[in-house]
Each structure stands twice: as C-alpha cells, then as structure tokens.
C-alpha cells in the first residue's frame, strides 16, 4: 500500500522568504500526486497536481512542486511567501489505476510572519 510522509509538522518563515515543504511517498507502482491547502476552519482546496507529463507543476498563486521519481518526492516550493500563505498544507497520493483512495500525509503548518 502507498503511504505519504511529511516530516515537517510546522515551518515558520518570514514574509518574502523562500519556502520548501517536503513530501515523500512510498509506492511500488505509478501514482498521482496532489498538494492541498487548508485555511483555518475551512475545507481543503486543491493547490496543484501531478498526473503525467512535465515533472514540474505550478499553481496560480506562485507555488510549484516537482515530481522526482527516483527520490519518490513531491516537494512544494514558493520563492517568496506572503502572510496570506499561512495555512496547513497536505500532500496526497493515489495509485493511477482504476478507483483508488487518496492517502494523505499528516500535514505541514506554514507560519508566515512579518
């Protein structure tokens, strides 16, 4: 079965600094990969996804993630964060065959301070 590891439970950064949120997965077969963001007391919103093709995927608000098959990673990056990026970020994986469930990591809380 597949699994997802987000080693950092909390990442504090200053506004306009770069940030990387780490995600590693375990699977013996090909997967789809997702990053979700959750603002306080809200549901999860899809931030970006890797399905196939280019290993670098981008979101509309400046985040990007790179699929690295050899390292089984899908780290999330942003070159310059804003206060409004403060939220919980979840990495998720599913197998790419038929009906599959999403397996989520435990989440990383990004805290952006002025």
Specify the stretch interacting with another protein by CB under 8 A; choose among 20-28, 31-39, 64-72, 73-81.
Answer: 31-39
101 in contact with another protein (CB under 8 A): yes
- When asked if residue 34 is in the footprint of another protein (CB under 8 A), the reply is yes
Within 40-99, the residues that bind another protein by CB under 8 A are 41-46, 49, 51, 90, 94, 96, 99
* Minimum distance of another protein from residue 72's CB (angstroms): 19
Question: Are the beta carbons of 107 and 88 closer than 8 angstroms?
Answer: yes
Closest CA to 88 of 31, 47, 33: 47
Distance CA 76, CA 28 (A): 22
Burial class from Cβ neighbours inside 10 Å (0-12, 13-18, 19+) for residue 75 reads middle
Determine if 104 is a binding residue for another protein (CB under 8 A). yes
């Amino acid at each position: 079965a597949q699994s997802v590891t987000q080693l950092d439970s909390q990442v504090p950064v200053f506004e306009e600094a770069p940030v990387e949120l780490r995600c590693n997965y375990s699977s013996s077969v090909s997967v789809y990969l997702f990053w979700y963001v959750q603002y306080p007391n809200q549901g999860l919103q899809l931030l970006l996804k890797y399905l196939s093709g280019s290993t670098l995927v981008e979101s509309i608000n400046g985040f990007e993630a790179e699929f690295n098959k050899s390292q089984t990673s899908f780290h999330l990056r942003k070159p310059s964060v804003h206060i409004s990026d403060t939220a919980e970020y979840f990495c998720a994986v599913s197998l790419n065959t038929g009906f599959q469930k999403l397996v989520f990591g435990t989440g990383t809380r990004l805290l952006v301070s002025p």
